[in-house]
Amino acid sequence: MVERGRAELPVVVIGAGPVGLAAAAHLLERGLEPLVLEAGSQPGAAVASWGHVRLFSPWRYDVDAAAARLLEPTGWSHPDPDVLPTGAELIAQYLAPLAQTEAIASRLLTGTRVLAVARDGADKTRSLGRARQGYRVRTMDANGAVGDVLARAVIDASGTYGSSNPLGISGLPAAGEERAQRFITGPLPDVLGADRARFAGRHTLVVGMGHSAANTLLSLVELARDEPTTTITWAIRGGSTRRLFGGGSDDELPARGLLGTRLKEAVEAGQVRLLTRVSIEKLLPSEESVQILGTNREGGLDLTVHAIVNATGFRPDLDMLREVRLDLDPVVEAPTALAPLIDPNQHSCGTVPAHGERVLAHPDDGFYLAGMKSYGRAPTFLLATGYEQVRSIAAALAGDRASADAVELDLPETGVCSTDLGGDGDEVSAEGSCCGSTPAEPQLVTLGAGPGLGFATGVVHGRSGDDVGN
């Protein structure tokens, strides 16, 4: 009986980030068997790569309710709800203890990368009997051994942090970009900490126009105070920095105003050289540096730097889902029904309405994108929203339709979101948004009312960031 066989299989959760682990907790509460597959060597592997960055959401919005219920009997106590953790603290005080609970530890495989998901026994074109089939999840362990796991359902919570947009302007890598990889970092290198040596006294090009770019630029400016030979160039695709610089003290978001004002001052003081209308066409790596060729407002671009910070945002890895029948929006690559709710042209992170399983469903039943990946290229994702997604998905998989359809997300009246920064100023893009901050003077941030969600305020430290597009 194929049907019964499918029901006995585990629900595979891809990724042990905050949302994947929360999914496991909700599935367990529903009496379903999760199996969490994590590519990294530790839970929260993506968060670890921005561990030095402070979240803008205080602890009260960072902990999933089912996860807390699993943790409490172990003697764990909820961190101070009003404190903003760093990524490293999120792991140490929440994700790691959660992954170590007996219930999850025995159902979590780290060092296990999912290569592909397919309907077991039915390629994408086969419809006959498709709905009865479970899923075949192809994996590769840390030693390169490939294997298959069968699943009744799959929740892909693998995030987007592993797939940055390329530097090339058309969404394709610039010529030589792959060969130049050793000179290119992610959007939030630890400039003042672990990665200092890479930038101190060197020339860095920061590409992008969101908060990650701003964060990194300001950290580089700080580094240059101690290491005066540090040189900073900033490249943006558009012609104006207006949206990132914001309205200064008149800005409706004080933190945005502060961030923008500081960056504006740094540009005006010549600490940061700004290049606009940049198109990177070719990268020529050599031993110590990389030459960048292309165009900018002034004509040809020919720049040689020691490091490039790619802060152009992220995109979901859809290659591994090639055999799954997905229903995705052609623009943001989020589930079609979700796309209008998260459109970065209309929503900041605080104004996305809560949504559940129905909005996240695809033509292949039992397959879901959840967490950051469910937002595709939109940068407006919040943990609290992801926790509600997986609560609803677990309820649906358990057959509790009423609970799956009920919206239980109590989106905060205070303190979730630092910014709704948009694109290049003279064009609308999915850039800017919901990211963390590096410690500085705390600022009280007030966000305007958004559709359906009222008012949000929050404490944000001096700098914050993340972006999509450049």
Ligand X SMILES: Cc1cc2nc3c(=O)[nH]c(=O)nc-3n(C[C@H](O)[C@H](O)[C@H](O)COP(=O)(O)OP(=O)(O)OC[C@H]3O[C@@H](n4cnc5c(N)ncnc54)[C@H](O)[C@@H]3O)c2cc1C
Which residues of this chain interact with ligand X, rule CB under 6 A?
A: 14-20, 37-40, 44-47, 50, 53, 55-57, 113-114, 157-159, 161-162, 188, 320, 371-372, 381-383, 386, 434-436, 466
**DSSP letters for 58-94:** -GGGTS-HHHHHHHGGGT--PPPTT---BHHHHIIII
Q: Give which of 131, 109, 107, 120 is closest to 26, Cα–Cα.
A: 107
The residue type found at 29 is E
- When computed from its CA atoms, the radius of gyration of the chain, rounded to whole angstroms, is 22
Q: Give which of 338, 332, 453, 444 is closest to 393, Cα–Cα.
A: 338
Kindly state the smallest distance separating residue 188's Cβ from ligand X, in Å. Answer: 6
The residue (of 42 and 279) whose beta carbon lies closer to ligand X is: 42
The residue (of 161 and 368) whose beta carbon lies closer to ligand X is: 161
Sign of the torsion formed by the C-alpha atoms of 94, 100, 106 and 108: positive
Kindly state the smallest distance separating residue 370's Cβ from ligand X, in Å. Answer: 7
The residue type found at 459 is V
The residue (of 50 and 234) whose beta carbon lies closer to ligand X is: 50
The residue (of 175 and 318) whose beta carbon lies closer to ligand X is: 318
Start-to-end C-alpha separation, the chain? 52
Kindly state the smallest distance separating residue 156's Cβ from ligand X, in Å. Answer: 8
- Residues written for the chain: 470
The answer to whether 113 and 140 are in contact (CB under 8 A) is yes
Kindly state the smallest distance separating residue 426's Cβ from ligand X, in Å. Answer: 26
Kindly state the smallest distance separating residue 228's Cβ from ligand X, in Å. Answer: 28
Kindly state the smallest distance separating residue 157's Cβ from ligand X, in Å. Answer: 5
Alpha helices in 227-306 (DSSP H): 242-245, 254-268
> How many CB atoms lie under 10 A from the CB of residue 251?
16
The residue (of 79 and 176) whose beta carbon lies closer to ligand X is: 79
Instruction: Show the tokens assigned to 63.
Output: 């902990």
The residue (of 278 and 447) whose beta carbon lies closer to ligand X is: 447
- C-alpha–C-alpha distance, residues 190 and 386, integer Å: 26
The residue (of 162 and 201) whose beta carbon lies closer to ligand X is: 162
The strand pairing partners of 299, in sequence order, are 296
Kindly state the smallest distance separating residue 288's Cβ from ligand X, in Å. Answer: 29
